[in-house]
Chains A and B, each alone.
Chain A
Amino acid sequence: GAVVSQHPSWVICKSGTSVKIECRSLDFQATTMFWYRQFPKQSLMLMATSNEGSKATYEQGVEKDKFLINHASLTLSTLTVTSAHPEDSSFYICSARDFPRPSGDATNEKLFFGSGTQLSVL
C-alpha cells in the first residue's frame, strides 16, 4: 500500500512553545489530507481536512488559530500546534487520501495513515 510518513514520532516541549508536525505522502499525490488526534484508550477524532492549495476545513470545536494547517504541495501537509499547553498533549495522526488516477475511479479510494506523533507538553 501507499506510504505516509509522519515526523516527528514523538516530541516533548515546554508550555507556550509551538510544535510543527509534518505529514508526507511518499509514493502518491494527495490532494486531501486529514488530521486526527487521539487520547489514551479513545478513538480517533477528526480535527480538520486539509486540501492542497486552499484553506483547511476544521471540525466543530477545533480552534483554527490553535492548530494551524498548511497543505502547500500535493505531498506535504503540516500541523502546527501554537502556544502548546498540557491539555494539548495527545497522539496526533495524519492521513492522506489515495485517489486512483488517471481513471478517477473513487470506488478504490483508500486512506493511508502516518505512524502518529506523540506530543507531550510540560
Chain B
Amino acid sequence: DAKTTQPPSMDCAEGRAANLPCNHSTISGNEYVYWYRQIHSQGPQYIIHGLKNNETNEMASLIITEDRKSSTLILPHATLRDTAVYYCIVRALSGTYKYIFGTGTRLKVLA
C-alpha cells in the first residue's frame, strides 16, 4: 500500500509557484521521498528525490520537514506544460526496491 497522502487536485496560475504537499507520517529512517509526474497518456517522469535535506534541481525544489513526516514539491514558475498528475512516493534503498504509487495530485496550471 502507498505510504503517502496527497490532495486530489490543485490549481495554480501560470507563472506562479506551485506548492504540492505530501504527507508521509509513517516514513522510516532509511526511506527516501521521490516525486514523479505523469502527463496524460504518458509514462511518469522523474522530478526529484531526497532523504532529509532540501533538494533543488533544474525542474523543482523539494522541501522536507525536519521530522520527515511531510514534504512539499515546489515548481517555482509553473507553466501550462506543468499540468499533470504529481506523485509522491516513499521507498527504501534496500530490500524489495518497489515504487508504490499513491493517488497523486492532479495539478492544473491556469493561463
Contacts and interface: CB of A to CB of B under 8 A. Distances in A.
B39 to A, nearest CB: 11
B43 A114 contact: yes
A43 B87 contact: yes
Contacts of B49: 110
Contacts of B111: none
The A contact surface, by secondary structure, is strand
Interface residues of A, number: 27
B102 A111 contact: no
Given A97-B97, A106-B93, A107-B93, A6 B102 contact: no
Taking each of A49, A106, A113, which has the highest tally of chain B beta carbons within 10 Å of its own beta carbon? A113
Kindly state the interface size class of chain B when it binds its partner: 20 to 34
Contacts of A113: 36, 43-45
A67 interface: no
B87 to A, nearest CB: 7
A4 interface: yes
A95 B43 contact: yes
A93 B38 CA distance: 12
Given A95-B99, A106-B94, A111-B99, A43 B46 contact: no
B51 A4 contact: no
A44 interface: yes
B98 A46 contact: yes
Given A36-B101, A49-B96, 6 more contacts: A44-B44, A93-B43, A95-B43, A95-B99, A109-B93, A118-B41
Interface of B: 2, 32, 34, 36, 38, 41-46, 49, 51, 87, 93-94, 96-104
Interface of A: 1, 4, 6, 32, 34, 36, 43-46, 49, 57, 91, 93, 95, 97, 106-107, 109-116, 118
